[in-house]
Structure formats: structure tokens, C-alpha cells
Amino acid sequence: MLKIRLSRTGKKAQPSFKVVVQEHTAPIKGRFVEELGFYRPAEDPKIFKVNTDRIKHWISVGATPSDSVAVLLKKDGLEGM
């Protein structure tokens, strides 16, 4: 089962996340199928950029977003989250 979730990158006390498609059993920092965007909560204002076409494609194929990604996508304007 594929999940769209956040994978942490960045230094200590400077969080940065990649939005990736991974197998649900894969470790968070492990191998991913495709990188869809990024999220930088430490910057002011917070930056969230994703490829919405690819997000819609992966959801249509059967991937499910994690709770945190679903909240970010809903704030970004993607319907159905």
C-alpha cells in the first residue's frame, strides 16, 4: 500500500520535509518511489510546494496521504482531503 507522507531532512532545529510517495512499510527516511514537493515550516512564512498533478495521479492510483499531508493539502486548496 502506497502512502504520500513527509520525509524529514535538514539540520537539527531547522526542520525541512520532502513530500514523497513510499510503501507504507518503508522507514520514514528510507527509499521512496517519487518526490512530489517539499515543506519548510521553519521559514516565515511557512513554505509548502507540491506538484498537484502528480498528487492527483497517485491518489487516483490508490495512494493515501498521511494525516499531516492531508491537512497541508487541504490548506493548499486541494479538494477531497
- Bond before 27 cis per omega within 30 degrees: no
Per-residue pLDDT in tens (0 to 9) along the chain, 81 residues: 999 999 999 899 999 999 999 999 999 888 999 999 999 999 999 999 999 999 999 999 999 999 999 999 999 888 776
**Dihedral sign of CA atoms 81, 57, 64, 29 in order:** negative
Domain boundaries, the chain: 2-76
Residue 38 to residue 31: CA distance in whole angstroms: 16
Residue 32 to residue 27: CA distance in whole angstroms: 9
pTM score, whole prediction: 0.88
CB atoms within 10 A of CB 55: 22
Q: Can you name the CATH fold of 2-76? A: S16 Ribosomal Protein; Chain: A; (3.30.1320)
